[in-house]
Structures are given as structure tokens and as C-alpha cells.
Chain A
Amino acid sequence: MKMIMDEIRAEYVKELLKEGKRKGDRGFDSYREVSIKNNILKNAEGSCLASIGKSKVLAGVKIDLMEPFSDRPEEGVLMVNSELMPLAYYSYSAGPPTPESIELARVVDRGIRAANVLEMQGLKFGDKVLGVFVDFYVLDNDGNLTDTATLAVMNALSNLSIPEFNAELNAFEREKRNRKMEVKNRVTTSTFCKINGKILLDCDVEEENAGSGSLTIGVADGGFICSTQKSGSASFSKKEVMDCVDIAMKKHEELVRHIKIEG
């Protein structure tokens, strides 16, 4: 379902682009304002409210014990899940996860997993292993949820505190949380949209509606590319992809400043 207003606004975006301009006179490869609020929840072992422009994503992490996977008996388990909450956008509705929601969670997960952000090896407690359950909730959708969610999740993981394990009770003592979990690598993503053949970084929802597809490039510390997802019906030339990679690698330096380890 597309509302008539979406189509009118999309036309406006395209008209501006014909003059080589973008809403708010923003450059084609510049981000909107980024803001990060860490540890805003008490019960979650890690939390962050991240926003890019008007998009808001709340990430929370719960730590639990779980059965190890049979092929990885000594390894902790990281799971990333997303919720597109009905309050975040008019076309979101309650119910089982949509393909969009699954894709969003998997793209955010992909970079973090590939870059080994958390060392999961050897996180064994008794006969169980550590489960790190990351859930992020979209509170307001104004485009570029992938980059916003990656920032939220990276911040929540960077400030994760592990509860003390009581071997006698074979359980965590949730009140005692002293141990920080070390983040081994920092990951950011840069998402570009293609609108009438032009490629724009960090699109808001009106620009996304005007576009025909997007390209997300995940970058990890040390100049490595750690994830990619081309989405939507748009096609990209190899040159366009490599140009996006170059911009994403530069933007990584800018975005990692928003991944903060609180004192």
C-alpha cells in the first residue's frame, strides 16, 4: 500500500535531484545528525537509543544461558533480531516478521558476525554457553534503518555488562554485573539509495520511497569490508559499487566516533 502523499513527496525528491539538489541542501554523501544515548535501560545488560535524523532505533541486549549448538560446543551464541513496531511507521503492522524486518536484522547481524565483534569462543558456563540476545526496536522510521540499527547494536554491545555466574546455583546473579565484555572490532554500515540513476547516502524515508533500491556496505576497523547487501530492484554497475565502497570506508572513520564506551 502506498499513500498518495508518498508519491507526491517522491516526485518532489526527484524534481530536486534534476537540479542536482537534495532536501535540506544536504550533500549526496553526507549523513544527517547522529545521536547516541547509551545505557538508558536498567534491566537490559546493554542498551542504546540511536538516531540518524528522525529515525530512532532502540537496541537492548539480554544475556542468558543456553544449550550450545552441537557443532560448536564451546562457543557462545549471538542472535540479532529486529522489530518494526506498528508505532514507527504507518505501513508497519503487528504480526509475524515481514521479509523487510528479517532482511534488516540479518544485514545488521551479518557485519557484526563477520567482523567477530564479540569473541564467542570459550564462553562456557557449566554445561551451558552464553547467549547474547540482541533485539532492536524501530521506534520511528525516517529512512536508513540499517545504519541506525547498526549504530544502536554496536553501542549496546560496546557497553555490555555480564552478570556474575553462580556455579552452585548454575545461574546468573543478575544484580551483580561487573564484568564488561570486550569489543574486538567496530563495525559501521553505510547505506546508499539509487534514485533516477543518482546515488545518495543516508536517505530519509521520502528519498527511499522515491528510489528503486539500496546498497549497504559494512566496514570494520582496519580497512576491511565486512558485509554488503544490495536490495530493491535497482541494479548497480561495478563502478557504482566500488564508489560506494570508497565512500563507506571514509564514512567508517566518521561513524565510529559515535560508538562510545561509557565510563
Chain B
Amino acid sequence: MNKANKPELIIDGRRTDGRNLEDLRSVKIESGVLDNADGSAMVEWGNNKIIAGVYGPREVFPKHFSDPYKAVVNFRYVMCSFSSLEEHSRGGPNRRSIEISKMGKHVFENLILTEQFPNTAIDIDVEVLQSDGGTRVAAFTAASVALVDAGIPVKGFAGGVSVGKVDGRLAVDLNKIEDNYGESDVPVMFNSSNSEILLLQMDGLLTREEYERSIDLCYEASKKVNALQVDSIKKKME
């Protein structure tokens, strides 16, 4: 982004969308939104709209990728060609989405009790229909609900948020404009049952204190996300 045109992002302690520094955007999670997938979830996180579907445990294809000790977890994160405000993009994977898919695979390899399903595959597919910053944490949040919806045993939910530095101050859950002009971005996700860090990425320039505070802020926000994840599953059980 052209830093010269940077708008003021925090005015009187309020952000461009009226939030305080530590506020999450409104997050809506619905599970079981698809008919064919074994499990699915839709997350509306601010202006982000993300849908996740899970198939499995099922046969591994191609077969030689199978593991006799545990299930293979495949994770695919992609942004639809019409998902961003900017021009039409080529749909399908690019370097960024390939990296995010790899991160997702790691998160759910940790969470799923893969040892219970040797020689099988669990395929998680997440599509970003509309993006407004923070899509990776929203995508993994959706995938986590879809897995539970599919009845696959997990150690906990993956919940979290991205904290960034905006106009020199730490702000929770950056939207697109804050992400573009922000000075750092720290997406962190936690296992809801033991508070272990499942996803941690960072870029920007932060002091040690700011770095630690970012992780703490993410942790506090992850609790709110976890509560919504649990609610979405309960709702479907009703």
C-alpha cells in the first residue's frame, strides 16, 4: 500500500469501524450448513464470509500417501476469485494460500486424534467467499467447528484472532484497511482445552513487550471465539 495515502486509523481511541482497540468484530458461526459434507460450518466475521467442509475419515487418495499409524490430514484454504474488493483474481491456490493451507494442516494434525484412524484421510476444505482481513484465523475457526460437526474426535477447538499494530498501538482483530496500513500482524490460535499455541505467525517490528502483549490479547479474544464455537454446535443439537 502506498503509505503516503495512509488514512488515520485511530481517532479518539476509536477505529475506522467504530470499535475500541480490544474489540472483536461481530462473529457469527453456524454449523452444519452443507448437505453432502460430513461436517461443515459457515463463519461471518465482520465482513468476512467463510465456509468450511470436512470429509472423512475416508480412503486416502493417492493410496501411497496413507500412514499405517494415523490419519492423514489434508487442509485446503483458498480464496474465491470474487472474494476481495479489488479486481477479479485468479481463483485457486497461490503462494500465500499454499502457505496458509500448510499452517492449517499443522493446526489440525495437532488437534485431531489421528491415531484413532490409521490408513485414512481427513480432508478439510475452506473457501473464503468474502474477505476483509483476518481470513486465516476465521478460516481455521470455521474448520474447527466443521470437524466437530463431522463427529471427528478432537482435543479442543482452535480459536484465535490476529492482533496488529495500528497507528503505533496494538489493536485486536484487524480489518482489511488496518491490515494494509498496519505496522504488524500477529495471528495466534490456541487449543481451547489446554491453552497451547497452535498457530503463531508474525511480521512487522515489535518490541519484546509488545510481542508478549499481542499474544495475551489474542488469548483473551480466543476465549470469546471458543464460546461462539461451542454455541454453534449446541444450536445444531437442539
Residues of chain A having any CB pair with chain B under 8 Å: 71-73, 75, 99-100, 102-103, 105-106, 110-111, 113-115, 213, 215, 220, 223-238, 241-242, 245-246, 249
Instruction: State whether B200 touches A115 (Cβ < 8 A).
Output: no
Provide the B98-133 mask, 1 if CB < 8 A to any CB of A, else 0: 110111001001100000000000000000000000
Given contacts A227-B202, A238-B197, contact A249 B99 (CB under 8 A): no
Does the CB pair A225–B211 fall under 8 Å? Answer: yes
If over half of A's interface residues share one DSSP class (helix, strand or loop), that class is named, otherwise mixed; here it is mixed
> Please, which residues of chain B bring their CB within 8 A of the CB of A241?
197, 200, 215
State whether A106 touches B196 (Cβ < 8 A). no
Structural contact, B106 and A232, CB atoms closer than 8 A: yes
Name A224's contact: one of B95, B191, B207 (CB within 8 Å). B207
CA distance A237 to B201 in the complex (A): 14
Which of under 10, 10 to 19, 20 to 34, or 35 or more describes the interface residues of B?
20 to 34
0 or 1 for each of B157-195: is its CB under 8 Å from A? (1 = yes): 000000000000000000000000000101000010001
- In the bound complex, residues from chain A placing their C-beta under 8 Å from that of B102 are 99-100, 102-103, 231
**What is the distance, in angstroms, from A147's C-beta to the closest C-beta of chain B?**
16
Other A-B pairs beyond A114-B184, A223-B208, A236-B200, 5, CB < 8 Å: A72-B1, A102-B102, A225-B205, A225-B211, A226-B205
Contact residue among B95, B109, B195 (Cβ-Cβ distance under 8 Å from A106): B95
Q: Find out whether the CB atom of B198 lies under 8 angstroms from the CB atom of A235.
A: yes
Given contacts A99-B102, A223-B207, A228 and B202 within 8 Å (CB-CB): yes
Q: Are B109 and A226 in contact (CB under 8 A)?
A: no
A residues near B186, Cβ cutoff 8 Å: 228
Instruction: Say yes or no: is B26 at the interface (Cβ < 8 Å to chain A).
Output: no
- Among B95, B110, B195, chain A packs the most CB atoms within 10 A around the CB of B95
Contacts of A105 in B (CB 8 A): 95
Task: Tell me whether A110 and B203 are in contact in the complex, defined as CB-CB below 8 angstroms, given that A235-B191, A241-B197 are known contacts.
Answer: yes
B199 contacts A by Cβ under 8 Å: yes
A224 close to B197 (CB less than 8 A): no
